[in-house]
Amino acid sequence: MAKLYFYYASMNAGKSTNLLQADFNYRERGMATMLFTAAIDDRAAAGTISSRIGLSAPATMFDPATDLVACVLHRHADTPLACVLVDEAQFLTGPQVDQLACLADRHDMPILAYGLRTDFRGALFEGSARLLALADALVEIKSVCACGRKATMNLRVDAAGAPVAEGRQTEIGGNDRYVALCRRHFSAALAAADAQASYRGPA
């Protein structure tokens, strides 16, 4: 039986690198794959999964309106797929995660989803919450805080490097906008940002 896997980590932990390596392993053995990435992520060229170490591959873009089952089965009818890999899986909707589970359960396709678990306030993304609920296997890709502890949280920072406590849940960025921290240092930084916002008062 095929399984739905959720590989989760903080920012800059190598999620895209792991995905591209898994994709390479399948293709090296002559197996076809299908890659998805979030249309909202514009850090690389449109429809491209790119890692910080220079690896990249073309991918089908998804947004909240994308029917993943229809996309995959259309490709599968043309070229039988051995695996489906999804980057930026936190941006999936809950129903889209259900679709991935359907592909695994009803169509016997392994699904490897890679993404963040929580946002810059420490709250779950919709896609991640549903993946945590449904995935057959949860795999943490580990990263390290500057203090040496495991980094599990994603702190958003401004142009000056100061922590940000308010804003939209989704704001695309890399090392210039996010810092991976352990829970202790994330909580301290967020508390400092909240205190600073309270000191300034309402805008």
CB atoms within 10 A of CB 79: 10
Catalytic residue among 88, 126, 166, 171: 88
Beta bridge partners of 38: 62
How far is it between the farthest Cα atoms of the chain?
Answer: 60
User: How long, in residues, is the chain?
Assistant: 203
**DSSP class of 198:** H
For 89, the 3-state DSSP assignment is: helix
Whether 88 sits among the annotated catalytic residues: the reply is: yes
16, 141 in Cβ contact below 8 A? no
Q: What is d(CA 57, CA 51) in angstroms, rounded to the nearest whole number?
A: 9
Active site residue ranges: 88
